[in-house]
Amino acid sequence: MTRPLRVVAVSGGLQRLSKAAVLAEYLLRLVGDKIQCEQHLIELGQLAPQLAGAVGRAQLPDSVEQELAAVEQADVLVVATPVYRGSYTGLFKHFFDFIDQDALIDTPVLLAATGGSERHALMIDHQLRPLFAFFQARTLPLGVYATDKDYVEHRLQNEALIQRAGLAVERALPLFQLAPRTRSMAAEEAIAAC
């Protein structure tokens, strides 16, 4: 019997009930509706006090280390960040600076962002995609970008956005279903090399 996929979402939002967290949770639910999976959401705003001032991974408390390990062991990653000055938040980058550079090789990553207007929509391709290319992750071709007007009372309400999110997950399913096998083969190769 195959274990369920480990799907981890990271929200770069700095506040509780951030639009990025709402979007990340929505995407997690869509994935969970399609395939059996274990889901975990990391809200970086909640970790900010524990991340501040750390320049090396050894300086981080266990609670942050557990979240880093969750990302490194994920079969599928969903990332969502607010756009801040044309890019992802500094906290988002600081968190991923601690991720082992080989941990996300071939991991499917669904990219998402939130912003005040449509003018920042290309941030997904110009900022997020290159960051995860560094990790040699498999960024999925269809990103999801939401603006302030897409939300009503902390819920996604824009039908076009909801359809795009569904399409992004639908197109990603073949890669998601390969993820555990890919991870298992990589683990077996690592053990064989010892």
Residue 83 confidence (pLDDT): 95
Q: Is the Cβ–Cβ distance between 90 and 84 less than 8 Å? A: yes
- Position with higher pLDDT, 61 vs 16: 61
Q: What is the pLDDT of residues 135-156, one digit of tens each?
A: 999 999 999 999 999 999 889 9
pLDDT 10s digits, 25-77: 999 999 999 999 999 999 999 999 999 889 999 999 999 999 999 999 999 99
Packing angle of the helix pair 62-72, 44-51 (nearest 10 deg): 130
- Which pLDDT score is estimated for 179? 67
Distance CA 29, CA 32 (A): 5
The pLDDT tens digits for 178-191 are 765 454 454 444 43
Task: Report pLDDT for 191.
Answer: 34
**Predicted TM-score (pTM) of this structure:** 0.89
Give the model's pLDDT for residue 180.
52
Residues 39 and 69: beta-carbon distance below 8 Å? no
CA distance 20 to 40: 15
> Does residue 9 carry a pLDDT above 80?
yes
Phi, psi of 16 (to 5 degrees): -65, 145
Whether the predicted pLDDT of 126 surpasses 50: yes
Mean pLDDT of the chain: 90
| pLDDT for the residue numbered 45 | 94
DSSP the chain: -PPPEEEEEEE--SSTT-HHHHHHHHHHHHHHHHS-EEEEEEEHHHHHHHHTT--SGGGS-HHHHHHHHHHHT-SEEEEEEE-BTTB--HHHHHHHHTS-TTTTTT-EEEEEEEESSGGGTTHIIIIIHHHHHHTT-EE-S--EEEEGGGEETTEE--HHHHHHHHHHHHHHHHHHHHHHHHHHHHHHHHHHH-
Q: In order of start, what are the domains of the chain with their CATH numbers?
A: 5-193 (3.40.50.360)
